[in-house]
A and B are shown apart, each in its own frame.
Chain A
Amino acid sequence: MKITTQNEKLSVHNLTMGYGNFILQKNMNFSVNKGDVFIVMGGSGCGKSSLLKVLTGLIPPLKGNVYIDGINFTKADEITQKEMMKKVGILYQSGALFSSMTLAENIALPLTQYTSYSKETIKDIVSLKLALVGLTGFENFYPSEISGGMKKRAGLARALALDPHIVYFDEPSAGLDPVSSKLLDDLILNINQSLGTTMIVVTHELSSIFAIGNNSIFLDAETKQIIAQGNPKELLKNPPNETVYNFLTRGKTEHVQKT
């Protein structure tokens, strides 16, 4: 156990991650408050997606710990980890829907796995979740029969199936047109506001970062460290360094040169 503030949902302590001898990021420290839309940003190859894998237990960190609700997730045994993951939903970059199942079956899978709800209740929950992401009536469609944007929304419905406390998003805007991307951003905000779910979003899409994020960290590939933390809008107003400013302004270096 670890002493946490009441508002803290997830915190990361001295986390070093990488593969074998190759270190991606070292000594990461940050915490995410309840109800935050927390952005993990940084250039390509800085370890954003790997951080998500560490946070969800898919790869072990080289050093350090991840706490969820004050409980050490990294050091927890398999059963506790599984129990903790029930309260977590993940939207993968590709949606990761199971291609051999219909949308309804995809969303029902975590429900049948973790609950003893009757078929009727599960059917109702599936319809509700699909309605929540704007896919009413698509229960019997297979993933191959819907568009990329719809796949992501269906993936989000599946991530929300168990009413999670935290939802992780791996580059939600990747491969989407600007309108679909905006729709997904609105959806993330809506769900965050109406259900109070904590969202951790890995992205480098500037419009999304400013539209939805109220807290963030910036991972730097060169120094292998977090080089900025805070509200993205604030970071844009008072950029702590050139790298962050260049990133948030698509490389308008004049500002830094002038100041």
Chain B
Amino acid sequence: MFYFMKNQVNNKKFFIEYKTQKERDVLLTLTGDFIHFEDAVFKNNLLNILLNNNLKSLIIQADKLTSWDTTLTSFLYRIIKFCQSKNIIIKYENIPDELTKLLQLALTVDRKPVQPTENKVSFLEDIGEKSIFIFQTIKKGMSFIQETLFSFGRLFKKKAVVRFVDFISVMNECGPKALLIVSLISFMVGLILAFVGSIQLKLFGAEIYVASLVTIGMIRIMGAIMAGIIMSGRTGASYAASIGTMQVNEELDALKTMGISVIDFLVLPRILSLIITMPILVMLADFMGILGGAFVGIALLNIPSSEYFKYAIDAFGLTNFLVGIFHGFIFGFIIAICGCYYGINSGKNADSVGLATTKAVVSSIVWMIVLTGLITWAFSVMGI
């Protein structure tokens, strides 16, 4: 009985021939190229013959074998394992040395992968460990903020090592280069606010109050939040990634062993840049948001522009504006702290830098929202 098929890769022909030689022997002849060879039907046929005819031995002959790869080894491995389990004797004839070595390797390798032992912890232990972890994370975060405040102290005493060039370059990154994206997003948010607001206000014939709604909304909080979210994704992430990469490259270790404070050298210029630029970006966001609202009011709701801006200016309160700026200042600090903290505490591989970036962005946004809630509550209690 012959088995014959075309090689799938380079169109050369190969075949395996198996025939019953003596009464209880099977001869398996390998001829030609066995590259990318996989044929389950053939293998099962062969196994069936070996199983059903109560055979005594299998002879594997390979004198005309020209080339092969691991797929042939895998095929032979399965056949040999099967024969071993059924006590069928295998005889090898003219098997090339290299193939013999590969087969030996395949047969000696323990096929069962070792399972790494897992430390099983009880439910209570798990809760305990997690509580300790949370407590330590909070402690670590607080001491980072404390260290940063000390660093500001050193800056005022002119004892901190800060490179002016670094400060300018970081400032450029989070200031001028962010203007366009902040403008665009704030314009769109103003537009959306006006649009959504107008649908409700139309019901009362009070479309004109769209101007007040957008102005108050933007300057009090929306401008700051939008600028904060954009800067968190843009600058906070970049802080975490760049400092994290420095951790991977051992640059942080080098700074520490040189006796230079990492906080002074890397964190301080970044925090300074953001707390200076964020209030300015918030002002821009306020302005662009009002413009976005005006676009909807004037172009779509047909409110006369003089009327629209009159209402907008009337709604523009200094307190609201300052509250927005204050938020911007706080947000700048949070974004920079989160970015730098996760960058410095990043592990030393590519994955951990990615993780640090994600944590920086997520935590800064969460903290911004939490603090907005607290500040809003505090201001409402104070009547601001």
Contact = CB atoms under 8 A, between A and B. Distances in A.
Interface of A: 53, 56-58, 82, 85-86, 88, 90, 92-94, 96-100, 109-110, 112-114
A99 B251 contact: yes
A56 B256 CA distance: 9
A60 B253 CA distance: 14
Interface in B194-251: 246, 249-251
Interface string B246-278: 100111011011111000000000000000000
A61 B78 CA distance: 53
Contacts of A90: 254, 257
B169 A100 contact: yes
B166 interface: yes
Given A100-B166, A100-B169, A113-B161, A94 B249 contact: yes
B259 A93 contact: no
Contacts of B161: 112-113
A99 B266 CA distance: 13
Contact of B256 (A58, A99, A113): A58
Nearest to A106: B254
A145 to B, nearest CB: 16
Contacts of A98: 246, 251, 254
B259 A82 contact: yes
A56 B259 contact: no
A169 to B, nearest CB: 13
A209 B251 CA distance: 26
B256 A114 contact: no
A113 B166 CA distance: 16
A96 B259 contact: no
A56 B257 contact: yes
A139 B259 CA distance: 23
Contacts of A86: 259
A97 B246 CA distance: 9
A82 B257 CA distance: 8
A96 B260 contact: no
Interface of B: 161, 166, 169, 246, 249-251, 253-254, 256-260
Q: Can you list the 7 inter-chain pairs with the closest CB atoms, starting with the nearest?
A: A96-B250, A96-B254, A92-B250, A82-B259, A56-B257, A96-B251, A110-B258
A interface, by DSSP: helix, strand, loop or mixed? loop
B260 A109 contact: yes
Given A58-B257, A113-B259, 19 more contacts: A57-B257, A58-B253, A82-B259, A85-B258, A86-B259, A90-B257, A92-B250, A92-B254, A93-B250, A94-B249, A94-B250, A96-B249, A96-B250, A96-B251, A97-B251, A98-B246, A100-B166, A109-B258, A113-B260
20 contacts: A57-B257, A58-B253, A58-B256, A58-B257, A82-B259, A86-B259, A88-B257, A96-B250, A96-B251, A98-B246, A98-B251, A98-B254, A99-B251, A100-B169, A109-B258, A109-B260, A110-B258, A112-B161, A113-B161, A113-B260
Contacts of B254: 90, 92, 96, 98
Contacts of B258: 85, 109-110, 113
A91 B323 CA distance: 50
A96 B253 contact: yes
Contacts of A96: 249-251, 253-254
Nearest to A155: B254
B249 to A, nearest CB: 5
A56 B255 CA distance: 12
Contacts of B251: 96-99
A57 B161 CA distance: 21
B257 A85 contact: yes
B169 A99 contact: no
Contacts of B253: 53, 58, 92, 96
Interface-central residue, B246, B254, B256, by most chain A CB under 10 Å: B254
A148 to B, nearest CB: 12
Contacts of A110: 258
A257 to B, nearest CB: 22
Interface-central residue, A97, A99, A100, A110, by most chain B CB under 10 Å: A100
B160 to A, nearest CB: 11
A90 to B, nearest CB: 5
A90 B260 CA distance: 14
B324 to A, nearest CB: 33
B266 to A, nearest CB: 10
Nearest to B248: A94
Nearest to B256: A58
A85 B259 contact: yes
A85 B255 CA distance: 12
A53 B249 CA distance: 15
Nearest to B255: A98
